[in-house]
Structure 1
């Protein structure tokens, strides 16, 4: 009788071992991590347009000479060299080809020499809004003429990759008054560009004629 019990006990132990081994095998198969798919790339988000709405600007009245008086910007170049900026004058002209563009020339001094930077601003369907095209669409600079009376001052916003620069121009360096400067500072403050990010430009010793060797076509960083 004892032999029978021993035989039955051995069979039960063997069955338990088999069942335990089977459960481990099944459990292991279930716990194997499945190959994970790579998460989809996040779509590129266009930077929020922080420029004010464009006014109904008569672009033809904007043509002519403008002197740069002040700039509000977090541009790294200005932060590092803002105390040594040079007098700068911009000229706006309509394209002779009538192709919906403006020809922009900017004269400034670099290393004690006068340079002329030539650019093309593209008109948009919105009056007062322009585009300076970069190497790729995401590098375009969007430009808004925020305020102007055409005859004395113009405040222009430049936005590139979500960063905004504001510039104050005047028709003559002699027509600048204190209320206008205060207004410019208030508009800069709304863009979180406080006094630390304001860079006044000299109002004297502007460049005259420029040698052909010093004419370049490029997109400035600020």
Structure 2
């Protein structure tokens, strides 16, 4: 019962905080173009709690479209050598750095915000995922390389705590070989 109350409290806090999270000012869509390594992952979603131990670093290719949307292609090498892949087309909104998309794979609506980015080094992305009446927060830390400075890892950890993520649900993913180009 205590765990359930803790999770409910964290979920309520994350929803209140998430509504206040805004994209970085002067967001430059072209600046995020290219390859990124998924270094940090934080969420209170139950599936993550169950699968965290098996997660490893993956890559994302971000490609702006002519309409100002963002094509996102993810790949991660599985332990047995196969590749897990996923694609989303994030639609621009009236607020630069804020996108929305529907995940066909997970049947959820996503409100994604690029909250902090240094285009040649790292990007911190905050997403509110909603399926039915349940919303969860997902924070991701990307790097242009497979390693980031310790102060950036700490910045991600603190941002995740501030958005209601439990400390045990904040992960710096172990390095992994990359999937071959598709």
Q: TM-score, normalised by structure 2?
A: 0.79
In structure 1, what is the equivalent of residue 45 of structure 2?
75
Alignment length (residue pairs): 159
- Unaligned 5+ segments in structure 1 are 1-46, 211-222
Instruction: Assess if the C-alpha contact under 8 Å between 2:56 and 2:175 holds in 1.
Output: no
Instruction: Assess if the C-alpha contact under 8 Å between 1:185 and 1:194 holds in 2.
Output: no
Please list every run of at least 4 consecutive aligned residues from structure 1 whose deviation after the TM superposition is greater than 6 angstroms: none
Look at both structures and tell me which one has the larger radius of gyration over its CA atoms: 1
CA-CA distance at 1:126 after TM superposition = 0.5
Structure 2 distance, partners of 1:123, 1:49, is 22
1:179–1:111 CA distance, 2 compared to 1 (3 A): closer
More strand by proportion, 1 or 2?
2
1:147 counterpart = 2:119: no
More helix by proportion, 1 or 2?
1
Instruction: Assess if the C-alpha contact under 8 Å between 2:120 and 2:144 holds in 1.
Output: yes
Instruction: Assess if the C-alpha contact under 8 Å between 1:83 and 1:199 holds in 2.
Output: no
Structure 2 distance, partners of 1:75, 1:151, is 30
**Structure with the larger RCO, 1 or 2 (CA within 8 Å, 6+ apart):** 2
CA-CA distance at 1:206 after TM superposition = 1.7
- Unaligned 5+ segments in structure 2 are 1-14
Task: Summarize deviations over 1:140-181 as a string: whole Å, max 9, x none.
Answer: 20000010111101100010223211011000014x111111
Out of 155, 167, 170, the residue aligned to residue 140 of structure 2 is 167
In structure 2, what is the equivalent of residue 206 of structure 1?
178
Instruction: Assess if the C-alpha contact under 8 Å between 2:68 and 2:92 holds in 1.
Output: yes
Task: Summarize deviations over 1:180-202 as a string: whole Å, max 9, x none.
Answer: 11111111111221321112212
More displaced 10-residue stretch of structure 1: 82-91 or 98-107: 98-107
1:123–1:49 CA distance, 2 compared to 1 (3 A): farther
Equivalent position SS for 1:183: helix
CA RMSD of aligned residues (A): 2.0
In structure 2, what is the equivalent of residue 189 of structure 1?
161
